[in-house]
Amino acid sequence: MSATPPVLLIHGGEGDVTDALREHEAAFREALLGALAAGRRVLEKEGDAIDAAQAAVAEMESCELFNAGRGSALCSDGSVQMSAALMRGSDRAAGAVAGLTRTEHPILAARLVLDSDQVLMVGEWADRRAAELGIAQRDNLHFVTEHQLARLRGRAAPEPMRGTVGAVCLDADGVLAAATSTGGRSGQPPGRVGDSPLIGAGTWADEHVAVSCTGVGEAFIRTGAAHQIAMLRQSGVALAEATERALADVSVFSGRGGLIAVDPSGATSSPLLSEVMPGGVWRAGSESVVWITGRPGRPQ
């Protein structure tokens, strides 16, 4: 057993403080609490970190306020292409999917890949495989919301949130896991893949740290952001400094965004280059705490 109680930390994507964010604040809070509750239920039934991270992200994929699952950002042709990844630190098991157009819960498809011999599956083949293994499929239009359509056409008020969703978890056995799911960036060309499903860029977990990122994916890919944090941790750099240094590197490449991370001691870090990154944390023995414009320790 680990010396520290389980911890689940989530994010609902980076963004700006906008009127739309304020308008939807109560709904965001409720959705974040729902995601923490889903992960907590898993951990309280002695589920492991990967199951808890997956459950929290699946819950956020179900809420159209977030850029994942239904409500995803749209490609320039109005279609939705979704990506997701999961990684378990204890054995570096990893599963990821990119360019899904029909799978209702991309994070469940990523889990199927994690449980297979592959690490990354793309497009139609990944959807088909998810369908064969029983994951619900929907017409692409199911994922398209009025808000995202207006946003693509430049008619939406500034979006409440641009980002991806993610979760990192430390379980009672000391195992770390990370999960990330996204519709990418609004107006992206079809076929573009960001950092979220790329192991080591937007998602990573090993025995030192679990990381999930959100923001301009290209900058996170070019800096290998999530893996960079793991390497810094391995060389003895404290969690907060490691995450700040990786994000400083991202900023050099005009990247905006943020990330969440947890280490085996239960320490968490969530540095940010953007205005906000709504999120929440649950620690065994405590109540869940969520924030919209605040940060862990300074929830608002």
What is the binding site for ligand ASP (CB under 6 A)?
13, 162-164, 182, 184-185, 194-196, 202, 214-217
Catalytic status, residue 164 = yes
Residue 14 DSSP label:
-
- Label the pairing between strands 94-100 and 120-122: parallel
Phi, psi angle pair for 69, to nearest 5°: 60, -145
Tell me whether residue 160 or residue 184 sits nearer to ligand ASP (CB atom).
184
Question: In the sheet where 268-269 sits, what is the strand order?
Answer: 203-205, 210-215, 257-262, 268-269
Q: Minimum distance from CB of 6 to ligand ASP (Å)?
A: 26
Q: Output the smallest distance, CB 257 to ligand ASP, in A.
A: 6
In whole angstroms, how far apart are CA 166 and each of 96, 236, 299?
A: 13, 25, 18
Contact (Cβ atoms closer than 8 angstroms) between residue 171 and residue 49: yes
Residue from 198, 193, 168 nearest 183 by CA: 193
Nearer to ligand ASP, 88 or 162 (CB): 162
**Shortest Cβ distance from residue 196 to ligand ASP (Å)?**
5
**What single DSSP character describes residue 25?**
H
Residue closer to ligand ASP, measured from CB, 99 or 202:
202
Catalytic residue among 101, 164, 203, 214: 164
Of 29, 36, 34, which Cα lies nearest the Cα of 9? Answer: 36
CB of 10 to ligand ASP, least distance (A): 14
- Would you call 252 helix, strand, or coil by DSSP? helix
Residue 62, both tokens: 């179900």
Residue 2 or 79: the one with the smaller Cβ distance to ligand ASP is: 79
Q: What are the counts of helices (DSSP H) followed by strands (DSSP E) for the chain? A: 9, 12
What's the alpha-carbon Rg for the chain, to the nearest Å? 17
Residue 2 Cβ vs ligand ASP, minimum distance, rounded to whole Å: 30
C-beta of 64 vs 195, nearer to ligand ASP: 195
Which of the residues are catalytic?
Answer: 164
